[in-house]
Amino acid sequence: MAHHIVVCAGIVPDPLQSLEPVMGPNGPGLKNESMLPAVIDPWAAHALFEAAHLAATEPGNSKVWLVSLAPKAKLQQVMMIVAQKVPFELVAIDGPASGFTDAAPCAAALAAAIAAIPGLDRRRLLLFGGWESASRAAGATLQMIGEQLGIADQFYGVDALAVAADGSFEILERIEGGRHQVSRCAGAPAVLGWATGCLREPANSPQLGMTNMRTLMPALQKAPRVAVATGGVFTSLAVPSKRRATRIVKDQSPDAIAQELVQWIRQ
């Protein structure tokens, strides 16, 4: 059975950069945020790779859309790299990608964009996304999108998905205690929030990138502008303070060291 797979993916600052929160004229943000290099959200990247793999292995005409809410200029830079990984059609929304934005208006904008995709069959819809996020880490955005689209079957912490010939599927979900549970669903539509999945990152393919760019650039050019409110009230922003207390002690027994560490933890 062919599916229509929609992947919700944002962009985030490269985690190798030093991120310093600041209070700007339009609310909280990151210092020199416009200059920071960006990457696709790592959690959502796993969802995209799993979606492309599923579409490639399913019989029929399966299709993958990538829906992203992010500043258009930054999104274009990231898509130059992502487009070489897997085939997809981009649905772009020009808006803030800050981790300080509220999940509810983000979900509303994404749900409206998904509902407006031409030719999307909701009876065959699988909504993919990250179980968590490197920016909007509330873990609520994907759930809100599913609710607004009327999708009741939702699964989170997904590591594997196996689709049967009758359209039903089996999901491997993470649960507490480092264990997994196996869930079964009769079929689409469904929401799947991916953890790390079970696939490696695909290699770059310049030919695939050129094919994707034929639809990427028009999608970016017509991306609608959306204003997303900041979530909550921020009175101050600061980097967590560093604390280091080091003593050099010689000729102390392991038991004495362990006892001192226990006392320090209790304090």
Point out the least confidently predicted range of 6-10, 22-26, 249-253: 22-26
Geometric angle at alpha carbon 77, from 119 and 68, rounded to 5°: 35
pLDDT digits (tens, 9 = 90+) for 55-98: 999 877 889 999 999 889 899 999 999 999 999 999 999 988 87
Amino acid 199: pLDDT: 87
The CA distances from residue 227 to 29, 170, 176, 246, in Å, are: 15, 38, 37, 48
pLDDT digits (tens, 9 = 90+) for 220-230: 999 999 888 77
How many C-beta atoms surround the C-beta of residue 251 within 10 A?
4
Coil, strand or helix at 103: helix
> Does pLDDT of 102 surpass 90?
no
- Of 109, 38, 112, 47, which Cα lies nearest the Cα of 75? 38
User: Which token pair is 18?
Assistant: 């030093």
User: Which token pair is 4?
Assistant: 């229509």
Specify whether the CB–CB gap between 57 and 147 falls below 8 A: no
Amino acid 226: pLDDT: 87
User: Which token pair is 246?
Assistant: 């080091």
The CA distances from residue 194 to 75, 78, 117, 139, 174, in Å, are: 22, 21, 22, 11, 10
What average pLDDT does the chain have? 87
Geometric angle at alpha carbon 25, from 23 and 29, rounded to 5°: 40
Q: Is the pTM of this model over 0.85?
A: no
pLDDT digits (tens, 9 = 90+) for 203-248: 999 999 999 999 999 999 999 998 887 766 776 667 767 777 777 8
Geometric angle at alpha carbon 244, from 242 and 248, rounded to 5°: 165
Q: Is the peptide bond before 189 cis (omega within 30 degrees of 0)?
A: yes
Give backbone dihedrals phi and psi of 256, rounded to 5 degrees, phi first. -70, -40
- Of 113, 107, 139, which Cα lies nearest the Cα of 228? 107
Residue 251 to residue 238: CA distance in whole angstroms: 41
Strand ranges (E), 102-218:
125-130, 154-163, 169-175, 179-185, 190-194
> Does pLDDT of 186 surpass 90?
yes
> Does pLDDT of 108 surpass 70?
yes
Domains along the sequence of the chain with CATH: 4-221 (3.40.50.620)
- What sign has the CA pseudo-torsion 183, 189, 194, 198? positive
User: Which token pair is 84?
Assistant: 């070489």
